[in-house]
Structure 1
Amino acid sequence: MAAQPPICDFGWKAVDAELPGVDGNAHRIFDHKGPNGLLVAFICNHCPYVKAVIDRLVRDAKDLAELGIGTVAISSNDASAYPEDSFENMKRFAEEHGFPFAYLHDEDQSVARAYGAVCTPDFFGFDGDLGLQYRGRIDASRKQAAPDDTERDLFNAMKQIAETGEGPTEQVPSIGCSIKWKDAA
């Protein structure tokens, strides 16, 4: 089922946590912040929306690193109900796509809840002081192949944040598969 996050809550402060990464190490989210900001991307392995944009996210993360913005990706889906999103499959997915950023597992879903993540992909763009400045889409393609001349909404917003500390006032929300929440115990 497709889901869409709410509009950007400008200035909302990022939440730190330590999560296991597919590289076998534990990672603190804030350790991935660059001098000009941090992009936190909630993704998963099986979602067609993520599969459609993952190579563009890898490209954007590489380009953003040059602007002093770090990137971290987090998978919070219930892997018991969706085995394709298991930690082992996260490792495979990251390797297949050449992730230049840490891919972390939020098994208890506490980080997704703390951020208010709604869908995959769900992008949170923070300034150098870790205040939220962007909560929008990667580009207009959604789950289609993007033509080469497609405007890079996420990259352009994060570039603006790196240069000015502020995100664009007009933002188009991301859309994707809903986060697969575990049943309440």
Structure 2
Amino acid sequence: MAVSPPVCDFGWHAPDFFLPGTDGRAHRLADVAGEKGTVVMFICNHCPYVIAVRDRIIRDAKDLQALGIGVVAISSNDAGAYPEDSYERMTELAEELALPFPYLYDADQSVARAYGAVCTPDFFGFDAGLGLQYRGRLDASRKAAGPADLRRDLYEAMKQVAETGRGPAEQIPSMGCSIKWKDAA
């Protein structure tokens, strides 16, 4: 079932994290933060919504990094129930796609909970001071990639953040698969 995150809570401060990456190193928020802003995205390997736009995520990440925006991806899905989302499979995918950003594993799901992430993909765009300025979609794609000329919502929003420090007032939430939470003990 597709789910959408809530609207942007402007100024909400990004929670810190310390997570293992597919590059074999652990990363903190400060390690990935950009001079002009930061995108923290929750993705996973198996979600059809993510698979449909992986190439666009990579394109936009590279273009945003060129503007001084840091980019990081985090997978928080229950790998016990979804083995495709295991750290080992994440590492394989990161190598296969030559991801231009750290891909981190949130095994205990504490980071997803701290951010209030609800779906994959779920995009959080922060300003230089790590205040939330964007909580919207990549573009209008759904389970299949839309036309190549779709408006690049995430890119345009974060370009605005890099230039002005402020995200757009109008934002359309992302849509995707729900995060696969572990059963409560």
TM-score by length of 2: 0.98
Partner of 1:122: 122
Give SS of 1:123's match.
strand
Where in structure 2 are the equivalents of 1:34-183 lying within 5 Å?
34-183=34-183
Please say if 1:30 is aligned against 2:43: no
Q: Is the 8 A contact 1:19 1:26 kept in 2?
A: yes
Question: How far apart are the structure 1 equivalents of 2:57 and 2:30?
Answer: 19
Taking the aligned partners of 2:32 and 2:143, their CA distance within structure 1 comes to 27
Contact 1:13/1:132, CA 8 A, preserved across alignment: yes
Distance 2:145 2:83 in 1: 26
Aligned residues: CA RMSD: 0.7
Distance in 2, Cα, partners of 1:109 & 1:63: 29
Structure-1 separation of matches of 2:177 and 2:84: 14
The Cα shift of 1:17 comes to 1.0
Identity of aligned residues (%): 72
Q: Structure 1: where are the runs of 5+ without partners?
A: none
Q: Which amino acid aligns with 1:150?
A: L
Q: TM-score, normalised by structure 1?
A: 0.98
User: Does structure 2 conserve the Cα–Cα contact (< 8 Å) formed by 1:4 and 1:119?
Assistant: yes
Q: Write the deviation string for residues 62-97 of structure 1: whole angstroms up to 9, x where unpaired.
A: 000111000000000000000010001001111222
Aligned partners of 1:145, 1:184: CA distance in 2, in Å?
34
Work out whether residues 58 and 98 of structure 1, in 8 Å CA contact, stay in contact via their aligned partners in 2.
no
Q: Secondary structure at the match of 1:162?
A: helix
Cα deviation for residue 30 of structure 1 reads 2.2
Q: Tell me, in whole angstroms, the C-alpha distance in 2 between the residues paired with 1:164 and 1:144.
A: 32
Alignment length, in residue pairs? 185
- Displacement of 1:2 after TM fit? 1.2
SS in 2 for 1:27: strand
Which SS does the other structure have where 1:90 is aligned?
Answer: helix
| Structure 1 residue 145: Cα displacement | 2.2
SS at match of 1:7: coil
